[in-house]
């Protein structure tokens, strides 16, 4: 059984190699993106390819692109692979970024504009334009009435756009993927059947991010009889490491997800991942001058600024010393919790103390041989600012990829 390929969706995720983690300063001449590093420039191979959305590069036509004008012009001038400085053999995929315009009545682009984006960016694969279908049938709630009508309108629109997309890409340099949407296994099956009838050999399953894993599995079971040899199936926005083999056995050939990156700074507990599937909470030491919630409390007088600064510096310096084995666990926990009590409140602090103690006591960064953990040490588990948090996310990405490779290697 072929291993799943993992594509990493980019959203301007890079780190500044000049950042000083003790002084928290950076090279004043640094130019974002040009001088910064992507995961594939830090690790030998953290994924099989990258996925970039038109909505990320161009925005929705109202100026909200994540790219600066200079970056966007250079992206189109250089093409996807050169802009991201991708290594030889790494694949590229483009999509529209349908979740960014999910609340609009219709997609904000034309099929021609999407094709032009894929061609000018020199992608290997391009995904047809789609419109997210809301909801999924459950025993407790079957989608009916006007809600069902809107689901069907969006599904039929997606299929219509897929047909136009395929007709117009026959002489293009990228391989077209058609998007299947639905609100139950039957409508997903009908969408896949329609795409195959059109002539698609590459299918993406869209709108599945909110679904529970059993719902995804039941859809894959439903469409599997339709999949002849050579048909490729991609799950948009889905990873679910515990289900890698379940997906592959049902015809899935590739996945993409930013979940490991986002969990580094969005999850309440699973911030630092290990290959065995376990995870640790990161040690929160918010920046006095950069944390909005903390700044608001200081301005309102709820927190004394001078005391906060003293406790912040004490927490950081003690953590640095703990990383270097200059102080023990008890004084480190004490310094960390003093600041935690101040910025989070005693009730919230009490809930995380045991998790903090576990992270410090087990020192997972020392057991990890990845380039980030080896270079950063304890900084990788400190929840503070984009440079630390994003590097922890990069660590999580390569952990996901290692887990993916190992899962299929164990199957022989």
Take residue 219 and report the two structure tokens written for it: 């859809």
Residue 224 and residue 218: Cα distance in Å, rounded? Answer: 10
Distance set, CA 204 to CA 23, 95, 107, 162, 234 (Å)? 46, 10, 18, 11, 5
Pairing of strands 5-9, 279-280: unpaired
368 backbone φψ class: left, alpha, beta (φ>0; ψ -120 to 50)? beta
Residue 140 buriedness (CB in 10 A; 0-12 / 13-18 / 19+): exposed
Contact between 376 and 21 under an 8 Å Cβ cutoff? The reply is yes
Cα 190 to chain centroid, rounded = 29
Give yes or no: 116 in active site.
Answer: no
Active-site residue among 10, 13, 95, 130?
95
Contact between 343 and 303 under an 8 Å Cβ cutoff? The reply is yes
Residue 399 and residue 261: Cα distance in Å, rounded? Answer: 11
Pairing of strands 272-273, 279-280: antiparallel
Residue 259 buriedness (CB in 10 A; 0-12 / 13-18 / 19+): buried
Give yes or no: 256 in active site.
Answer: yes
Active-site residue among 10, 48, 137, 256?
256
- Catalogue the active-site residues: 95, 256
């Amino acid at each position: 059984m072929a291993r799943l390929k993992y594509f990493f969706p980019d959203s301007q995720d890079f780190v500044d190699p000049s950042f000083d983690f003790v002084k928290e300063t950076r090279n004043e001449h640094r130019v974002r993106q040009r001088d910064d590093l992507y995961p594939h420039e830090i690790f030998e191979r953290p994924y099989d390819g990258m996925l970039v959305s038109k909505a990320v590069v161009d925005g929705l036509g109202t100026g909200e692109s994540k790219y600066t004008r200079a970056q966007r012009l250079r992206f189109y001038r250089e093409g996807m692979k050169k802009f991201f400085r991708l290594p030889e053999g790494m694949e590229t995929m483009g999509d529209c970024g349908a979740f960014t315009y999910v609340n609009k009545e219709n997609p904000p682009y034309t099929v021609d504009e999407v094709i032009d984006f894929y061609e000018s960016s020199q992608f290997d694969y391009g995904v047809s334009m789609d419109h997210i279908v809301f909801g999924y049938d459950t025993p407790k709630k079957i989608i009916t009435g006007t809600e069902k009508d809107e689901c069907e309108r969006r599904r039929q629109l997606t299929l219509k756009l897929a047909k136009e997309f395929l007709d117009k890409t026959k002489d293009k340099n990228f391989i077209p993927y058609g998007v299947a949407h639905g609100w139950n296994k039957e409508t997903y099956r009908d969408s896949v059947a329609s795409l195959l009838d059109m002539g698609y050999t590459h299918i993406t399953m869209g709108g599945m991010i909110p679904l529970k894993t059993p719902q995804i599995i039941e859809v894959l079971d439903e469409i599997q009889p339709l999949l002849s040899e050579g048909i490729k199936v991609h799950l948009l926005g889905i990873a679910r490491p515990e289900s890698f083999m379940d997906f592959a056995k049902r015809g899935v050939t590739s996945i993409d997800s930013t979940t490991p990156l986002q969990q580094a700074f969005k999850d309440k507990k699973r911030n630092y991942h290990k290959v065995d599937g376990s995870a640790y909470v990161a040690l929160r030491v918010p920046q006095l001058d950069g944390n909005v919630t903390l700044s608001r409390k200081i301005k309102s007088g709820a927190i004394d600024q001078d005391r906060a600064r003293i406790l912040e510096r004490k927490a950081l310096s003690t953590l640095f010393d703990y990383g270097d084995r200059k102080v023990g666990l008890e004084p480190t926990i004490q310094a960390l919790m003093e600041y935690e009590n101040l910025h989070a409140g005693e009730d919230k602090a009490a809930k995380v103390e045991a998790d903090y103690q576990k992270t410090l006591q087990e020192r997972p960064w020392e057991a990890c041989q990845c380039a980030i953990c080896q270079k950063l040490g304890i900084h990788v588990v400190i929840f503070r600012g984009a440079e630390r948090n994003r590097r922890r996310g990069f660590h999580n990405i390569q952990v996901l990829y290692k887990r993916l490779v190992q899962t299929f290697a164990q199957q022989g």
